Amino acid sequence: MVSKNWEGVYARASSIRVTFVYNGAKHFETLSLPPTPANMKYADSVRKEILRRIELGTFTFSEFFPKSKHAAKTDRPLFSEMAESWLNSKTRALAETTLKEYRNTINTHFTKPFGKRIMADITFREIDKFMSDLKVANKTFNNVLSVLRGIYEYGMKAKACSENHAAHIEFAPKDEPKPDPLNQQEVNEILRDMNEHYDEQIAIYFELAILLGFRPSEGIDLRWSNVDWNKGLLLISSAKVRTVTKKTKTSKDRLVELDDQCLALLQRLKKYTFMKGDHIFVYPVTGRPYPDTSNLVEKYWRPSLKRCGIRNRDARQTRHTCASMMLMAGCEPDWAAGQLGHSVEMFYRVYSKRIQGEDKGRERAKMASMYGESCQIFANSKSS
């Protein structure tokens, strides 16, 4: 008689039953072994190995239970099953917003053409044609391909397919968004227009966006508790993307210096939000924190540009405008990079042409001046 209790392992009259969850379903499989203590211990080790393989994504029914009615079905899973299993394997490693983006990519692009197909039956030519026919921007193309590669890589580990077809498709060249800053006249026109047509909070938001260069996702999540009034500093430590608060794009906090103008703008905002919560900016229509940046862009930014007759730009150009103003003012690039949350290398890469343009020979003049002074010193020393 077997007296010890084994989790997920049960003694039958002349066999042993093993239970486990695979692809969201609970399975009951039989080992044709008499339930002796030694065999129960062996069955427990088999179950633990099954769980380990499931965790790794390498479990197959046919290897452990070749006569099971589930072997043929589950060893040839659908693409949708592998996509779901791949997503589940990423829940601990990825931010919630990233997981939502991956799920949206799967639902938008893969469910209809491949969802109900057995993954192993999908050919490379089908995958290649699907990606070739995808009419999207290069960035979206690469995002779709990245998800597809991940699903296939998981499918190979799970033995749902023998090859990662997506790995043979090349990523598209990156569309590097170029800085397209506003000039000072355009800045003045936009701020004047916003003060005339919108709640004061909106005009202050965009003026601070231009003066401080924060990312829009950072701006809507700025907190009063992160303002150091005495030292004139603002800690930027979070961002809000599709209603979810997360770390900044670089996952690094940064302290931004506030000049008198910025402090004065924040003082003006106090009457609206300071005593009502921790968020500096709220949506004036609801009085609640912004869930995302769409209202700021579509309801305020784009209409203001249109009224001013200014060429349409993404609202992130406020950040590039800030960088341009810093360089025009002669700020050191390493300080400007710190204010924007760039590495110095990234700042030089993005703004190298503008740095050279704003230099207008200043650095060469410094060198010429030093050369002239040294020559004069040399001449004086010879004459003496």
DSSP characters over 311-358: PP--TTHHHHHHHHHHHHTT--HHHHHHHHT--HHHHHHHHHHHHHHH
Q: What is the pTM of this model?
A: 0.59
pLDDT, residue 369, reads: 63
- DSSP result, 199-210: -HHHHHHHHHHH
Q: With cut-offs at 50, 70 and 90, classify the pLDDT of residue 219.
A: very high
pLDDT, residue 170, reads: 93
d(CA 171, CA 146): 8
CB atoms within 10 A of CB 379: 10
Residue 25 β-bridge partners: 22
Buried b or exposed e, range 169-190, using 16+ CB within 10 angstroms = beebeeeeeeeebbeeebbebb
Question: What is the gyration radius of the CA atoms in the chain, in angstroms?
Answer: 31
Return the half-sphere exposure (C-beta side, CA atoms, 13 A cut-off) of residue 217.
15
Burial class of residue 47 in the structure, from the number of CB atoms within 10 Å of its CB (0-12 exposed, 13-18 middle, 19+ buried): buried
**For 73-82, 111-120, 208-217, 240-249, which range has the lowest pLDDT when averaged over its residues?**
73-82
pLDDT, residue 1, reads: 46
| Nearest CA-CA partner of 171 in 138, 128, 204 | 138
pLDDT, residue 311, reads: 93
What backbone torsions phi and psi does residue 197 show, to the nearest 5 degrees? -105, -20
| Nearest CA-CA partner of 229 in 186, 167, 280 | 280
pLDDT, residue 153, reads: 93
Tokens of 141: 């193309």
Mean pLDDT computed over 171-190: 85
Mean pLDDT computed over 244-251: 84
Angstrom distances, CA of residue 277 to CA of 214, 280, 283, 286? 21, 8, 13, 14
Mean pLDDT computed over 96-102: 83
Angle, to 10 degrees, between the axis of helix 184-197 and the axis of helix 200-212?
Answer: 160
Q: Is the Cβ–Cβ distance between 266 and 280 less than 8 Å?
A: yes
pLDDT, residue 281, reads: 97
Residue 10 β-bridge partners: 17
Mean pLDDT computed over 359-383: 54
Q: With cut-offs at 50, 70 and 90, classify the pLDDT of residue 375.
A: low
Q: Which domains does the chain have, with CATH numbers?
A: 9-74 (no CATH), 79-168 (1.10.150.130), 184-359 (1.10.443.10)
pLDDT, residue 74, reads: 55
pLDDT, residue 379, reads: 54
Residue 11 β-bridge partners: 16
pLDDT, residue 107, reads: 95
Q: Is the Cβ–Cβ distance between 23 and 81 less than 8 Å?
A: yes
d(CA 239, CA 246): 5
Q: What percent of the chain has pLDDT over 90?
A: 56
Output 54 or 371, whichever has higher pLDDT: 54
d(CA 191, CA 259): 19
Buried b or exposed e, range 273-292, using 16+ CB within 10 angstroms = beeeeebbbbbeeeeebbee
Write down the mean pLDDT value for the chain: 86
Q: Is the Cβ–Cβ distance between 323 and 342 less than 8 Å?
A: no
Output 376 or 293, whichever has higher pLDDT: 293
Mean pLDDT computed over 346-370: 60
Mean pLDDT computed over 368-384: 54
- Is the per-residue pLDDT at 351 higher than 90? no
Amino acid identity, residue 21? Answer: V
Tokens of 3: 């007296």
pLDDT, residue 288, reads: 92
pLDDT, residue 372, reads: 57
Mean pLDDT computed over 294-299: 91
pLDDT, residue 139, reads: 86
H-only helix segments in 59-213: 61-64, 71-74, 79-89, 96-105, 111-114, 124-132, 138-157, 184-197, 200-212
Residue 275 β-bridge partners: none
pLDDT, residue 73, reads: 58
What tens digit of pLDDT does each residue of 12-59 get? 999 999 999 987 788 999 999 999 999 999 999 999 999 988 887 677
DSSP H/E element including 302: helix 302-308
Cβ within 8 Å of residue 206, ≥6 positions away? 190, 191, 194, 300, 301, 318
Q: With cut-offs at 50, 70 and 90, classify the pLDDT of residue 368.
A: low
What tens digit of pLDDT does each residue of 307-316 get? 999 999 889 9
What tens digit of pLDDT does each residue of 316-338 get? 999 999 988 888 888 888 898 89
- Is the per-residue pLDDT at 141 higher than 50? yes
CB atoms within 10 A of CB 37: 12
